[in-house]
């Protein structure tokens, strides 16, 4: 078979999906063409390029390359499972085929970003009938990709961007003023990539300043790997340290001190998912995106907090967009829930 037996098996088990010529999946047009889907959580190489050493700061446009094959997720095709967080089972034994594959993917999976060009994103959006996307920026301390991203969104009415300010940046107030003059729709925090806890003094000081702008603040939230995997030898030590920077319990300390912050808890808490509804009920100014979450968890969110504070997201290019779309379709019971999650909530939050 052209794309291997595992991808063919996914098609058989999920008849809502099709395969693109490059080996990535897409949703069947008739299922979503009536919705104006807004992806709140995407990445482009230019939005994350400052994280890479200079010799790796190079885009690689290749229309025939499967981004799913390059990404961390799933850890291997044999572990793919649409009903799991990140759409993958998680091995706990390093000395196994899938354990070794997973460790390799955790080391190399970020290289998919080199292929996440603006043209490729638009092509993949078209394949999945995604109307618009919010491209998130991530910068290390005292570096910035803001000018590149500002040029992209000003020249493409299908893309928006959230700016990134590091908690240890110099002249944070001046940077906020500078970015507000650009074409931004919000702010993005990345505790696990920065290696800075979301509830440390510097992060809280930053969030207080960002909240004054009244723009939404998105932060990656929750442990990025399940505890049974964190307790094993499969993840590198660095991955274990990083995932503890944004445990969902830490956000309660932040929200207790800054209840006015319009905070988007990205990924619905990842593997801290069971705590997300408690936090959102306690702090009504919070939202969440469903990137990486399976249909069963999205259905639980709708049941517990309603559909009005749930945002569609994919974490592209790390996660195939079609999987998140299909998860929403399966989780929702009526058209209003789908409209809210796919676009209406985002339009209100972004004021578009």
More confident residue, 101 or 165: 165
Residue 113 pLDDT exceeds 50? yes
Residue 191 pLDDT exceeds 60? yes
- Rounded mean pLDDT of 208-214? 97
pLDDT digits (tens, 9 = 90+) for 323-337: 999 999 999 999 999
**308-312, long-range: CB < 8 A, 24+ apart:** 308/340, 308/345, 309/280, 309/345, 310/340, 310/341, 310/345, 311/40, 311/41, 311/264, 311/287, 311/341, 311/345, 311/346, 311/349, 312/37, 312/38, 312/39, 312/40, 312/341, 312/342, 312/343, 312/346
Domains annotated for the chain, with CATH where assigned, are: 35-67+113-350 (3.20.20.140)
pLDDT digits (tens, 9 = 90+) for 47-88: 999 988 776 778 898 999 999 999 999 999 999 999 999 999
What span, in angstroms and rounded, lies between the C-alpha atoms of 243 and 90? 15
Q: Are 349 and 72 in contact (CB under 8 A)?
A: no
Q: Kindly report the pTM of this predicted structure.
A: 0.96
- Rounded mean pLDDT of 232-248? 87
Quote the pLDDT of residue 219.
98
- Rounded mean pLDDT of 267-285? 96
Quote the pLDDT of residue 2.
55
Specify the 3-state DSSP secondary structure of 212.
coil
Quote the pLDDT of residue 117.
96
Quote the pLDDT of residue 3.
66
Residue 11 pLDDT exceeds 50? yes
């Amino acid at each position: 078979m052209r794309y291997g037996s595992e991808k063919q098996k996914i098609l058989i088990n999920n008849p809502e999906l099709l395969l693109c010529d490059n080996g990535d999946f897409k949703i069947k047009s008739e299922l979503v063409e009536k919705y104006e889907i807004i992806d709140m959580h995407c990445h482009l190489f230019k939005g994350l390029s400052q994280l890479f050493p200079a010799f790796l700061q190079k885009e690689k446009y290749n229309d025939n390359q499967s981004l799913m094959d390059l990404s961390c997720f799933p850890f291997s095709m044999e572990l793919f499972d649409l009903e799991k967080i990140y759409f993958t089972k998680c091995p706990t034994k390093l000395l196994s085929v899938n354990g070794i594959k997973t460790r390799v993917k955790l080391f190399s999976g970020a290289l998919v970003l080199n292929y996440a060009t603006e043209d490729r994103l638009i092509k993949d959006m078209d394949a999945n009938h995604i109307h618009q996307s919010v491209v998130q920026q991530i910068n290390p301390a005292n570096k910035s990709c803001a000018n590149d991203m500002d040029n992209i969104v000003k020249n493409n009415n299908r893309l928006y961007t959230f700016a990134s300010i590091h908690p240890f940046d110099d002249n944070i107030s001046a940077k906020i003023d500078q970015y507000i003059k650009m074409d931004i729709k919000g702010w993005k925090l990345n505790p696990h990539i920065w290696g800075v806890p979301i509830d440390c003094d510097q992060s809280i000081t930053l969030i207080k300043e960002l909240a004054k702008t009244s723009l939404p603040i998105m932060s990656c939230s929750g442990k990025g790997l399940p505890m049974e995997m964190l307790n094993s030898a499969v993840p590198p030590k660095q991955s274990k340290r990083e995932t503890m920077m944004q445990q969902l319990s830490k956000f309660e300390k932040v929200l207790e001190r800054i209840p006015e912050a319009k905070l988007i808890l990205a990924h619905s808490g990842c593997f801290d998912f069971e705590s997300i509804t408690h936090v959102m009920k306690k702090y009504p100014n919070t939202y969440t995106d469903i990137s990486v979450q399976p249909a069963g968890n999205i259905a639980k969110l709708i049941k517990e907090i309603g559909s009005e504070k749930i945002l569609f997201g994919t974490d592209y290019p790390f996660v195939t967009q079609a999987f998140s779309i299909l998860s929403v379709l399966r989780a929702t019971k009526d058209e209003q829930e789908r409209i809210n999650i796919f676009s209406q909530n985002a339009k209100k939050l972004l004021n578009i």
